[in-house]
């Protein structure tokens, strides 16, 4: 298990975070949310007056944010320059800008390098949108989670505070998915050897059990 890397990819609302943490807990592995890293950089750009619609300005400052990421599945968090931003990075302003910031090659290059450094020799479940294709293409377990747009929108709406319009959430998620799957740098994509799991009609426990089973099968084979 110390050398195991489990790559979990998929669009927003497919269940990546909850499933990845569940698998990590089951096997005593570390957990890395790469999406939070892109959100943290986006938050920093906004706080420092960098226009998310200006790729050149973002690229010029891509090396400046100092990130500190927790890999404990029971104590998930991320700090920028020593400030805990776990809450702020989930706000509407960051959500609206993160796709644009994430598409800048200099941002991706820096964060992919940092993600690989955190992964190290393994013992970790990593979730994102390009883990199996770019960050850890050699991961022995690759999973691509998906679900219907409606199911994903309902799940994401339930995570947000207050009363949320599901249709608006769905439209925003579909916009972001289109942007992320068509960007030139490391687009959202399913690795050829990833196992796709449609979570639309599945409970969280069922999806976790399915992925845990894949990990167990690999360990048994070895």
Which domain CATH number covers 98? 3.40.50.300
Q: Which domain holds residue 196?
A: 5-207
- Residue 217 falls inside a structural domain: no
Q: Percentages helix, strand, coil for the chain, rounded to the nearest 5?
A: 50, 15, 35
∠ at Cα 211 (206, 215), nearest 5°?
140
Average pLDDT, the chain: 92
Q: What percent of the chain clears pLDDT 90, i.e. is strictly above it?
A: 72
- Residue 219 falls inside a structural domain: no
Smallest Cα–Cα separation from 24: which of 140, 122, 156, 138?
122
Smallest Cα–Cα separation from 145: which of 127, 169, 167?
127
193: Cα within 13 Å, side-chain hemisphere: 12
What is the per-residue pLDDT across 180-194, written as a single tens digit (0 to 9) for each? 888 777 788 899 999
Instruction: Say which DSSP state 194 is in.
Output: P
Q: Which helix (H) or strand (E) holds 44?
A: helix 34-47
Q: How confident is the model at residue 163 (pLDDT cuts 50, 70, 90)?
A: low
**How many domains does the chain divide into?**
1
Tell me: pLDDT of 96 over 80.
yes
Instruction: Say which DSSP state 88 is in.
Output: G
- Tokens for 203, please give them: 């409970």
Q: Which residues pair with 156 in a beta bridge?
A: none
- Rounded to whole angstroms, the Cα distance separating 134 from 106 reads 15
What's the predicted TM-score (pTM) here? 0.90
Tell me: pLDDT of 203 over 80.
yes
Q: What is the mean pLDDT of residues 126-147?
A: 95
Asked whether the beta carbons of 142 and 49 are under 8 A apart, the reply is: no
| Residues comprising the chain, all counted | 222
Asked whether the beta carbons of 94 and 38 are under 8 A apart, the reply is: no
- Rounded to whole angstroms, the Cα distance separating 147 from 141 reads 20
What is the per-residue pLDDT across 22-77, written as a single tens digit (0 to 9) for each? 999 999 999 999 999 999 999 999 999 999 999 999 999 999 999 999 999 999 99
Residues 6+ apart with CB under 8 A from 49: none
Smallest Cα–Cα separation from 128: which of 207, 203, 64, 186?
186
pLDDT at res. 169: 83
Asked whether the beta carbons of 98 and 39 are under 8 A apart, the reply is: yes
Q: In angstroms, what is the C-alpha Rg of the chain?
A: 17
């Amino acid at each position: 298990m110390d050398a195991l890397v489990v790559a979990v990819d998929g669009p927003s609302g497919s269940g990546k975070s909850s499933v990845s943490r569940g698998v990590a807990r089951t096997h005593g592995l570390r957990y890395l949310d790469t999406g939070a890293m892109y959100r943290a950089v986006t938050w920093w750009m906004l706080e420092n007056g960098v226009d998310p619609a200006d790729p050149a300005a973002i690229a010029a400052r891509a090396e400046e944010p100092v990130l500190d990421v927790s890999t404990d599945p029971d104590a998930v968090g991320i700090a920028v320059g020593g400030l805990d931003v776990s809450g702020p990075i989930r706000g509407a302003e960051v959500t609206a800008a993160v796709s644009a910031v994430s598409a800048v090659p200099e941002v991706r290059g820096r964060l992919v390098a940092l993600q690989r450094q955190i992964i190290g020799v393994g013992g970790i479940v990593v979730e994102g949108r390009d883990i199996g294709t770019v960050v850890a293409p050699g991961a022995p377990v690759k999973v691509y989670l998906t679900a219907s747009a409606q199911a994903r929108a309902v799940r994401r709406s339930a995570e947000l505070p207050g009363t949320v319009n599901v249709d608006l959430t769905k439209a925003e998620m579909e916009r972001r998915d289109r942007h992320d799957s068509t960007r030139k740098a490391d687009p959202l994509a399913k690795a050829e050897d990833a196992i796709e799991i449609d979570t639309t009609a599945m409970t969280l426990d069922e999806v976790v059990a399915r992925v845990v089973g894949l990990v167990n099968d690999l360990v048994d084979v070895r």
